[in-house]
Every structure is written in structure tokens, then in C-alpha cells.
Amino acid sequence: MSGLLALLDDVAGIAKIAAASIDDVASQAAKAGAKAAGAVIDDAAVTPKYVQGFRAERELPIIWRIARGSIRNKMLILLPAALLLSNFAPWLISPLLMLGGAYLCFEGAEKIWHTLVPHDDHKAHKAEAPVDAAILEEQKAQGAIKTDFILSAEIMTIILSGIPQSNFWMEASTLAVAGIGITVAVYGSVALIVKADDFGLMLYAKGRLRATRAFGRWLVRAMPGFMKLLTIVGTAAMLWVGGSIVIHGMEVLGYGWLGHHIHDWAYAVGHAVPEAWTGFVEWCAKATMDGVFGVALGLVLIPVATKVIAPLIGMFQKEKAVN
């Protein structure tokens, strides 16, 4: 009997340790995932455009397909790559983060530039012959998965940098939980956003109460403006996050003068207002300066990407096609 009680006591001890480990994984995943908030916002803001123009019944299947591709990329490619980096080349994490941050700056600045100075390709696209719906859906889904891969790589690297040093399995579990949780949050939000107008239309058509129909009509009318606002928020988040990542990476590499100046300026602005607002104003000032740096860096990178990198990629693709 005493042996059985001892065994039960051991089992209870193991269960407590396992529960504590699960709590640690969930806690670390939440904390590390919060650091990737800017990239996550950008991911959620970018994705809805890939389902615009499709029939309502095709919107959720396309989102589900992109979400599956995102989870596959995170679990089968990015998670193993992140663990290899963490265990064999941790010195590469900061440079890779900076590379991803520079890409976010480029994407954000390019969106602003194309809004202010529309490029000639826009007219050319309008003149193209109509594409079969199935082919267009395939192209849009593949394009969304490629874009998500880049953002997911940045998100997973940010998460990895936010995980306290621990054993291999703890890092792997934290990355997996955070990666899946972020994917569910992003694409769940995207699904709600793209179906909001359909929900509003249903309320307007079938609502029994006058208030219900009025809310449905307001929802339908509000969604185009909300989508534009989401694009602006996504672009701002892209520039803010990209700029802050590059600045922090410069500090890690020993070039911290810009980061120190931004910190001092933000501190001065924050302490120029009443104490109750100090933290919020200081954060806003720092985020704004990080974003301004992101715009400047992105504008510098636009000619590099369009005049150097893009032609090189095009040459490589042509040689591959010929072979």
C-alpha cells in the first residue's frame, strides 16, 4: 500500500512539473509574441487585400488556404531554422532581424511612394485581358503565402529573440505555441474583417428590429473606410517596427548613437507633459521617430531594390527558365 501511495505521489509530482512547464511555455509564448505585435498587425492588415474581388463564398476558403500555408511554413521551415540559429549561430539573429526590419521599411516606404507617385504598371494592369477566376485565386493565394512567409520569418525571429535562454525543448515549444497562436489570431481576425460586410448585409436584409437593420446598413457603409484605415495602420506599423528593429540591431552591433539620441529625445518629450501622460507620450514619440527613420531607410532602399536586386533576380529566373 505504501508503495502505491509513493507511486501516486511521484505521479502527482510529475504532473505538477508538467503543468508548470506548460504554464511557462504559455507565459513565454505570450510575452515573446507581444514583442512581435507590430509585424502581426502588419500581417493582419496586408492579408485582406488578397481576397478582394472574389465571390463571397470563396473568401473564407482562400483565407483558410493561406492560414494553412502560414502554419506549414512556420512549423516545417521557420521553426527548425530558428532553433538551428539559436543553438549554432546565435550571433546571426540580430543581423537577420535587421535584414527583416529593413525589408519592412522598404515595403512601407514603397506603399507611400506608390500612393504619392503612381507607377506606370498600374495602367498596364487595367489593360490586361481578364484572367480565369481559378487561376487568379491560385495566383493570389500563392502571393499571399509568399508575403506571409517573409512576415512570419520576421515574427518567428522576433519571438526567438524574446525567449529567455533555456533548453532546446522549451524554446521549440514556445516557438510552436506562439507561432500557432499568432496565426490563429491573425487569420481569425482577417476572416472577421472580410465577412463583416456580408454580416451587415444579412442584418440589413433579415433583421426584425429597426435598430438591427440600421446597424447592418452602417456596417456595410463603414467597411470600405475601415479597410483604408487598416491599410494605413498596417503601413505605419510596418515602418515603426522595421525602424525600431534596425535601430536596436545597430545598438547590439555597437552603433548605438542613434538609438541613444532617440531615447533621450523621447524622454524629454515625455517629461514635458503631465506625469499621468508621460509614459504614453514618451512611447508615441519614440515610435514616431522610429517610424520616420523607417521611412528614410525605406526610401533609400527603393532604388536599390528596383534598380539592382530586382534585375539580378530577373536574370537568375531567366537563366533558370532557359536551363
Q: Which three cell numbers stand for residue 75?
A: 512549423
Question: Length of the chain in residues, anyone?
Answer: 323
> Is 289 part of a structural domain of the chain?
yes
Q: Flag whether 18 is in a domain.
A: no
Question: What is the number of domains present in the chain?
Answer: 1
pLDDT value, residue 300: 93
Residue 27: which of 154, 155, 174, 156 has the closest Cα? Answer: 174
Domain that holds residue 314: 24-322
- Which regions of 161-206 does DSSP assign to beta strands (E)? none
264 occurs within a structural domain:
yes
Q: What is the pLDDT of residues 197-236, one digit of tens each?
A: 888 888 888 888 888 889 989 988 998 888 888 778 878 8
Supply the pTM of this predicted model: 0.72
Q: Helices 168-206 and 2-35 meet at what angle, rounded to 10?
A: 70
Residue 128 inside a domain? The answer is yes
What is each CA distance from 177 to 70, 140, 169, in whole angstroms? Answer: 14, 28, 12
Does some domain include residue 239? Answer: yes
Question: Is 157 inside any structural domain?
Answer: yes
User: Looking at the domain assignment, is residue 19 inside a domain?
Assistant: no
Stretch among 78-87, 120-129, 280-289 having the lowest mean pLDDT? 120-129
- Name the one residue in this structure whose C-alpha cell is 506571409: 148
Domain assignment present for residue 297? The answer is yes
Can you give the pLDDT at residue 19? 36
Residue bearing cell 546565435: 90
Residue 285 confidence (pLDDT) above 50: yes
User: For all residues of the chain together, what is the average pLDDT?
Assistant: 77
